[in-house]
Structure 1
Amino acid sequence: MDPQKQHLIKLAHTKMPFGRYEGRYLIDLPEYYIVWYKSKGLPKGQLGQMLGLVYELKLNGLEELVRNIKRQYPKP
């Protein structure tokens, strides 16, 4: 499977591990929260990369793409 596709599938099934929105799928986080996090500074590592991608997806109105992936590829 294409690594980019695998990354999007993983993003679709990743939940926020801490904070106010703990347990929510990253793609379902409110836009204002993602924008706030981006201005504050995203966390290091994979979570920060995923939040950065969520920011770009929401900025371009493409979050439904990830929601469709979540439905199409259920978590094993």
Structure 2
Amino acid sequence: MNPEDLPLLLERQMPYGKYQGRVIADLPGHYLNWFAREGFPRGEIGRLLALMQEIDHNGLSYLLDPLRKAQQQRPSRSLR
């Protein structure tokens, strides 16, 4: 596991499917387990889905809580 991938779980959105637009960290366990059974896609999305499935399966989702809090405390950038 690459530690730089953890914040990406809260940033990258699912690009397709039933949960399109939802950040990977918020995908339900049954959906992540389906990918684990059927095969993860290639590339970054697949790597992040596999990481999130492992975190979720082992009951370690709480490890993302400090990252969530830090993300919420960051001032939002206004688009000009």
Tell me whether the two structures share a fold, i.e. TM-score over 0.5: yes
Structure 2 residues without counterparts, runs of 5 or longer: none
**Larger RCO (CA within 8 A; separation ≥ 6):** 1
Structure 1 residues without counterparts, runs of 5 or longer: none
The aligned residue for residue 29 of structure 1 is 27
Larger Rg: 2
Query: How does 1:57-76 map onto structure 2 within 5 Å?
Result: 57-73=55-71, 74=74
* Structure with higher helix content: 1
| C-alpha separation in 2, matches of 1:65 and 1:43 | 24
The count of residues paired between Structure 1 and Structure 2 equals: 73
Runs of 4+ in 1 over 4 A off after TM superposition: none
What amino acid is aligned across from residue 18 of structure 2 in structure 1?
A: R
Deviation, structure 1 residue 17: 0.8
| C-alpha separation in 1, matches of 2:16 and 2:64 | 21
Identity %: 33
- TM-score, normalisation: structure 1: 0.82
Deviation, structure 1 residue 36: 0.7
- Tell me, yes or no, if the aligned pair for 1:27 and 1:67 is still in contact at 8 Å: no
| C-alpha separation in 1, matches of 2:7 and 2:23 | 12
Question: Is 1:38 equivalent to 2:58 in the alignment?
Answer: no
